[in-house]
């Protein structure tokens, strides 16, 4: 009987210790991932890293960090809380999608804050979208590369207020025939409830459309938006909201139709452009169609078919 009692006690202690260990692991503020030497049976520590970002996200604490230690290919993942996913300095972490699937997706809430830092998100021409977010508080995309997607490179379309912050990021060869490198969309009514995007020191090149601000509020500065198949920058108002885009110290060059474009089907699309260049665009440097309004200060528009063109809009 005593032997049985001791055995049961030992099992109880073991179960308690495993539960405690699991809780500690789940609450780790920093976890580590590597494609080269990790396994998802590991506790995701630096010395015993896990294999997938998905596993790292499962065990990291809210507001914690998933750090990718080694260069290599990594599977797509879904973010479901406030967290940072980053590649260690000097590491090329390539996130590759399944055919026609998403690559970095979100099931976050309107209060979550997510940072993606140093990632290479490569669709390899088979992925649908690179980064696709439809609900969040704040999304930071820093020092990333997003390329080779048939859909949208960075898709940020919200029905409530949320903020996208992009910095030091390259978006290239996305959009197939009809989509954009970066698509910023807000469907909520009311100025304070809109999706907002701030783009700083980025390159948006060789996509179908470069940046589309669709019924949202956008700002881009110190950036290059060039060589896109249709328009470089497009502010588009719709049936429910206006659009507003601020362009400061940017280059919108050699796009195959219009460098900077504004139009609206019912509401107004306002574009404020200062200290920027638009050159070598096939149709126009800047163009305002119906309900498009431009405010221009200290810019240089040259070697376009039309440097400044109004087709029912206001410039």
Are 83 and 66 contacting, i.e. CB atoms less than 8 angstroms apart? yes
0.75 exceeded by the pTM?
yes
pLDDT in tens, 248-300: 999 999 999 999 999 998 899 999 999 999 999 999 999 999 999 999 999 99
Burial of 208 (0-12, 13-18, 19+ CB in 10 A): buried
Residue 14 scores a pLDDT above 50: no
CATH class of the 62-311 domain in this structure: mainly beta
Average pLDDT, the chain: 91
Distance (Å, whole) CA 24 – CA 157: 36
Residue 238 scores a pLDDT above 90: no
Chain mean position to CA 223: 16
Residue partners of 286: CB distance under 8 A and separation at least 6: 258, 259, 260, 261, 271, 273, 278, 294, 296, 301, 307, 308, 309, 315
Domain boundaries, the chain: 62-311
Taking alpha carbons only, the member of 91, 78, 166, 169 closest to residue 129 is 78
pLDDT in tens, 47-97: 999 999 999 999 999 999 999 999 999 999 999 999 999 999 999 999 999
């Amino acid at each position: 009987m005593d032997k049985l009692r001791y055995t049961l006690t030992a099992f109880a202690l073991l179960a308690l210790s495993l539960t405690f260990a699991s809780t500690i692991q789940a609450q780790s503020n920093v976890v580590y991932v590597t494609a080269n030497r990790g396994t998802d049976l590991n506790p995701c520590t630096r010395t015993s890293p896990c294999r997938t970002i998905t596993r790292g996200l499962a065990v990291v604490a809210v507001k914690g960090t998933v750090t990718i230690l080694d260069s290599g290919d990594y599977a797509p993942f879904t973010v479901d809380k406030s967290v940072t996913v980053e590649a260690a300095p000097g590491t090329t972490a390539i996130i590759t999608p399944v055919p026609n699937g998403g690559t970095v997706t979100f099931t976050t809430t309107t209060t979550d804050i997510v940072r993606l830092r140093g990632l290479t998100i490569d669709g390899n021409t088979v992925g649908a979208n690179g980064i696709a977010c439809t609900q969040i508080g704040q999304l930071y995309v820093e020092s990333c590369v997003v390329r080779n997607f048939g859909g949208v490179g960075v898709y940020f379309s919200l029905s409530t207020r949320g903020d996208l912050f992009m910095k030091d990021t390259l978006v290239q060869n996305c959009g197939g025939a009809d989509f954009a490198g970066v698509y910023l969309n807000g469907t909520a009514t009311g100025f304070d409830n809109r999706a907002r995007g701030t783009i700083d020191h980025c390159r948006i090149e060789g996509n179908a459309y470069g940046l589309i601000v669709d019924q949202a509020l956008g700002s881009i500065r110190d950036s290059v938006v060039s060589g896109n198949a249709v328009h470089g920058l497009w502010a588009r108002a719709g049936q429910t909201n206006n659009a507003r885009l601020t362009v400061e110290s940017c280059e919108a060059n050699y796009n195959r139709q219009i460098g900077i474009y504004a139009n609206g089907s019912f509401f107004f699309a306002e574009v404020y452009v200062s200290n920027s260049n638009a050159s070598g665009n096939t149709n126009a440097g800047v163009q305002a169609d119906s309900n498009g309004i431009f405010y221009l200060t200290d810019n240089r528009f040259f070697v376009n078919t039309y440097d400044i063109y109004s087709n029912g809009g206001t410039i």
